Structure 1
Amino acid sequence: MAEARSPGAGALWAISSVPFIMVLGNSMLIPILPTMQSVLGISQFQASLVITLFSVPAGLIIPLAGFLSDRLKRKWIIIPSLGLYALGGLVAAIGAWIGQWVFPVILIGRVIQGLGAAGTAPIAMALVSDLFQGGERSRALGLNEASNGLGKVVSPILGAWVGSLLWYGAFLLFPILTIPVMIGLWLAVKEPPLPKGMSAARYWQSFVAIWKRDAHWLLVGYFSGATALFLLFGVLFYVSETLESVHHLGVFARGTILAVPLTGMCTASYLTGRWIKKNRPLMKGAVVGGLGVIAGTLFLLPFLRSPGWQLGDLVLSGIGTGVVLPSLNTLITGTAEREERGIITSFYGSVRFLGVAAGPPVFSQLMKLPPVWMFGLCAGLAAVAGGVALLFIRVSGHPPSRRKSPLSSSLGNRPKAAGIK
């Protein structure tokens, strides 16, 4: 398998650059939100909409992108979507530069970016699963998630640095950084031939069959992924606001501090992908244990007084997130065959985006509560997610994707992907 896919090393790096670029869409802007509030005279909640109006359109459109990617080449969805993503950044930058209706134009640009983002990282995850099988798949998905995490590490520093020079400079970076990724995908990724076509009715019949069979744990997986990212981006928003309003730190210092826990997340994602391989019990344990770490660290955070201890606690929370996400990625992408994987994965990507979208505005309201209550509620949410994962993700018996579905029956027997249960 590895020898047959040796040309795929370049393809894997090209595909993994997609989540790296996509995650810049939110993470690069978080450290400059307080600056944006000051320059534009907007409220904390309004500033949070810069994140939300990117993530909500993406979350709503991702299932459509997944459906199209199952019926077309994945590249044919990803590359135009990246172009739309770059265009949205350019619109936001032009609006800020012209100086008329600045905030509404920025929000319009963010909506355009979100529509483009719908066809990027979730489809890239499905594409990785198309090209790699078995233990190679978990390692490839781990690298994909680590690239996502690396983007989260680099983006606060990059956004802070550019923002210290020009507050809307981050918007200009989107087209500059996206175009090389589009070229790399076009040149490096060679997709396998599309399988035998089927009617839309049979496609949905197969999708419904998978959903009926695996909904009990797919919903748990979706909830766990959304929870991890909701808490991650909510806490990052809280930290950025606190560093500016309480500690009066500049934008570059804020970006550098935000990068520290995200480095822990990135490292954990990469190592977890290499560690879990095809071991489904390990994947479940990683999901449950990672959510437990998130719950414990968030519960302790308001009781820690030293900034050093607080930062260390946030690093552990980031590590917990980094353990959860690649494990969920492998479990969920292994549920379906290539012909159905795009939409199954896209629903997962959709709830991930919606989790990100909810984080900043919800935390902007939670920050009105005492920290003990705010972080207690967050810890409780993570604990609930870990508990339902422990109860409903089962690893005994045959993987679900080895069972017959309407689609596999109509197209004949093919090698099956790994799943859970």
Structure 2
Amino acid sequence: MATTPAAGTQATTPEGGTRAAVGFRSDRGPVLAAIMLCTGLVALDSTIIATAVPSIVRDLGGFSQFPWLFSIYLLTQAVTVPLYGKFADSLGRKPVMFFGIALFLLGSILCGVAWSMPVLIIARAVQGIGAGAVQPISMTMVGDLYTVEERARVQGYLASVWGISAVVGPTLGGVFSEYVSWRWIFFVNLPLGAAAAWVLARRFVERVERRKHRVDFAGAAVLTGGLSLIILGLLEGGVAWSWVSTRSLVIFVIGAVLLVAFVVIERRAAEPVLPLWVFSRRILAGGNLASLVVGALTIGLSSYLPTYAEGVLGTSALVAGFALAAMTVGWPIAASQAGRLYLRVGFRDTALIGSVFVIGGAVLIALLGAGSAILAVAGSAFVVGIGLGLAASPTLVAVQSVVGWDRRGVVTGANMFSRSLGSAVGAAIFGAIANATLASRFAHPPAAIAGQLPRNADAGSLLLGGHANSAAPAVGEYVRTSLYYATHHVFLSLVVCGVLGVGALLLMPRRSEPLTFD
């Protein structure tokens, strides 16, 4: 087993470059395999659940609540990522990763035995707290072990994990949903997580000088409370209460006040959970905002493309899963080539090229009709995946490349925080758009079926739960059309997200230089 020199020296890589030695004593091949397993842990779960939503709604009810299955997971993941990034820089990567894997598996067990939608939502929150460690620490380890030139290749390997999960995940999700039970989509995490922990325990050894640290619990609590209230207002506004109601106003105002208080706390904290300097430099601010948009785009497609395919086009969960898989197959294909491209034209320009594909694919998805072919759905998703592959990897490598080891966990955590926050807020906003569309149409149906529909968005359960066929044909057709308009409005929002992503990327400098700190 190869041993790196003491911390503070330089280690020569096989390619002839150098990387900062941080006390690792491991073979990079097995460690990379373990990192890929850890990444697969989160990737598999995110792709499996998307195709299982109709089955979950059929068993547990609560169509208007299903966006919480994504939002609560992504919210708890987002708000814990900065903490994990801070701990990774002080305690080391390995203990933080083990904690995240253990908590993620506990959440998976709780999800598998959930007996109601609220219980499942709480269990997903536990999963999210664990996932908050797995993905960013995996990316931080790659930044530690490989140079910028090597990461061009390694990022392709990591992206391939998402491609494999894109095929295996929706397939397993569809098979379990149709032939066994959707509960097994959570239990399947257990052997994968155990394998990842076993490999890391045997192969990854690090030497870290531990010191006492002051954990910014106040900042973490205020950030969690503020974001939770904002997302609660977005998800339930227009559904559980009116947008212009006193309750809605109070929730948004208190959420905004807490976020302002978070900024004040971080300015004064000795060791802030999310240092404000990660948003004060152009390359970091631009990269984080771009990740915010990537997160929103990813959750929008993952949440509503299968719903559109199953509820509007009438496909099976398995076919809907393959349509979604096209996006995450295109992603690693593009990511594997992004490394070569950004070494030639730079991080920002590579990401901008990706944005062209993202916007083009989003437009194609927005043009899908109520009778489009499933191949058109898959093809459009594939184009978006190509764009995301060219945009996501360069922005992450860019922010990692301008800081040293002692700040890499923080900047990686901030970047992953931004992506998770984008997904959480995106799920809330897209859920609000879909729920508002459905609520409006169900509140004003044609006179012929006026008495046959519920007056809220849960009427979508009629279709996703498979009950439309047993209802009057006119009712089923109206629900199907309503679901088309709901998903169509979400898809139009994805186009807007793509355009906003271009603005974020233009904040980044064309060439990246190492940052200096006082």
Checking the alignment, whether the CA contact within 8 Å between 2:77 and 2:128 is kept in structure 1 is yes
In the aligned structure 2, how far is the partner of 1:232 from the partner of 1:202?
A: 33
Partner of 2:34: 14
Checking the alignment, whether the CA contact within 8 Å between 2:171 and 2:318 is kept in structure 1 is yes
1:56 matched to 2:75? The reply is: yes
Q: Could you tell me which amino acid in structure 1 is paired with residue 355 of structure 2?
A: L
1:301 matched to 2:365? The reply is: yes
Deviation of the 1:371 alpha carbon: 6.8
Larger Rg: 2
In the aligned structure 2, how far is the partner of 1:365 from the partner of 1:158?
A: 29
Partner of 2:191: 176
1:77 matched to 2:77? The reply is: no
1:107 matched to 2:121? The reply is: yes
Deviation of the 1:11 alpha carbon: 1.1
Q: What per-residue deviation string (whole Å, max 9, x for no partner) do you get for residues 198-241 of structure 1?
A: 97699849x969547x5333222111112122112212322111
State, as a whole percentage, how many aligned pairs show the same letter.
22
Q: What per-residue deviation string (whole Å, max 9, x for no partner) do you get for residues 149-176 of structure 1?
A: 4323431122222222112111211223
**CA spacing shift, 1:197–1:132, aligned 2, 3 Å:** farther
**CA spacing shift, 1:388–1:86, aligned 2, 3 Å:** closer
Which of 388, 391, 395 is the aligned partner of 1:321? 388
**CA spacing shift, 1:42–1:146, aligned 2, 3 Å:** same
Deviation of the 1:51 alpha carbon: 1.3
Q: SS of the residue aligned with 2:66? A: helix
The within-5 A match list for 1:246-395 is 246-273=312-339, 275-276=340-341, 278-279=343-344, 281-304=345-368, 306-307=372-373, 308-367=375-434, 368=437, 374-390=490-506, 392-395=507-510
**CA spacing shift, 1:134–1:244, aligned 2, 3 Å:** closer
Deviation of the 1:358 alpha carbon: 3.1
Q: Could you tell me which amino acid in structure 1 is paired with residue 287 of structure 2?
A: G
Checking the alignment, whether the CA contact within 8 Å between 1:284 and 1:393 is kept in structure 2 is yes
1:166 matched to 2:177? The reply is: no
Deviation of the 1:270 alpha carbon: 2.4
In the aligned structure 1, how far is the partner of 2:402 from the partner of 2:359?
A: 28
Partner of 1:409: none
**CA spacing shift, 1:146–1:196, aligned 2, 3 Å:** same
Checking the alignment, whether the CA contact within 8 Å between 1:58 and 1:117 is kept in structure 2 is yes
Which of 136, 146, 149 is the aligned partner of 2:150? 136
Checking the alignment, whether the CA contact within 8 Å between 2:278 and 2:414 is kept in structure 1 is no
Q: Could you tell me which amino acid in structure 2 is paired with residue 17 of structure 1?
A: L
Deviation of the 1:360 alpha carbon: 3.6
The within-5 A match list for 1:208-227 is 211=278, 215-227=281-293
Q: What per-residue deviation string (whole Å, max 9, x for no partner) do you get for residues 288-324 of structure 1?
A: 1112221122123333555233432221111101111
Checking the alignment, whether the CA contact within 8 Å between 2:323 and 2:381 is kept in structure 1 is no
In the aligned structure 2, how far is the partner of 1:198 from the partner of 1:93?
A: 38
Partner of 1:29: 49
Q: What per-residue deviation string (whole Å, max 9, x for no partner) do you get for residues 120-142 of structure 1?
A: 11011111111112311332233
Q: Could you tell me which amino acid in structure 2 is paired with residue 19 of structure 1?
A: T
Alignment TM-score, normalising by the size of structure 1: 0.85
**CA spacing shift, 1:12–1:31, aligned 2, 3 Å:** same
**CA spacing shift, 1:233–1:370, aligned 2, 3 Å:** closer
Q: What per-residue deviation string (whole Å, max 9, x for no partner) do you get for residues 68-111 of structure 1?
A: 11001201100121011001111121234xxxxx2222222111
Q: Could you tell me which amino acid in structure 1 is paired with residue 510 of structure 2?
A: V
Checking the alignment, whether the CA contact within 8 Å between 1:53 and 1:111 is kept in structure 2 is yes
Range 239-248 or range 81-90, more displaced: 239-248
Partner of 2:460: none
Partner of 2:298: 232
Aligned length: 392
Range 379-388 or range 328-337, more displaced: 379-388
In the aligned structure 2, how far is the partner of 1:125 from the partner of 1:190?
A: 17
Question: CA RMSD of the aligned region, Å?
Answer: 2.8
**CA spacing shift, 1:253–1:399, aligned 2, 3 Å:** same
Deviation of the 1:354 alpha carbon: 1.9
Which of 35, 40, 49 is the aligned partner of 2:60? 40
Which of 134, 139, 148 is the aligned partner of 1:125? 139
Q: Could you tell me which amino acid in structure 2 is paired with residue 259 of structure 1?
A: A
Checking the alignment, whether the CA contact within 8 Å between 1:228 and 1:291 is kept in structure 2 is no
Partner of 2:513: 399
**CA spacing shift, 1:208–1:60, aligned 2, 3 Å:** closer
Q: SS of the residue aligned with 2:361? A: helix
Q: SS of the residue aligned with 1:362? A: helix
Partner of 1:99: none
In the aligned structure 2, how far is the partner of 1:291 from the partner of 1:8?
A: 33
Which of 165, 176, 194 is the aligned partner of 2:208? 194
Checking the alignment, whether the CA contact within 8 Å between 1:89 and 1:171 is kept in structure 2 is yes
**CA spacing shift, 1:373–1:258, aligned 2, 3 Å:** closer
In the aligned structure 2, how far is the partner of 1:242 from the partner of 1:110?
A: 23
Checking the alignment, whether the CA contact within 8 Å between 1:232 and 1:318 is kept in structure 2 is no
**CA spacing shift, 1:378–1:358, aligned 2, 3 Å:** same
Checking the alignment, whether the CA contact within 8 Å between 2:331 and 2:388 is kept in structure 1 is yes
Partner of 1:2: 13
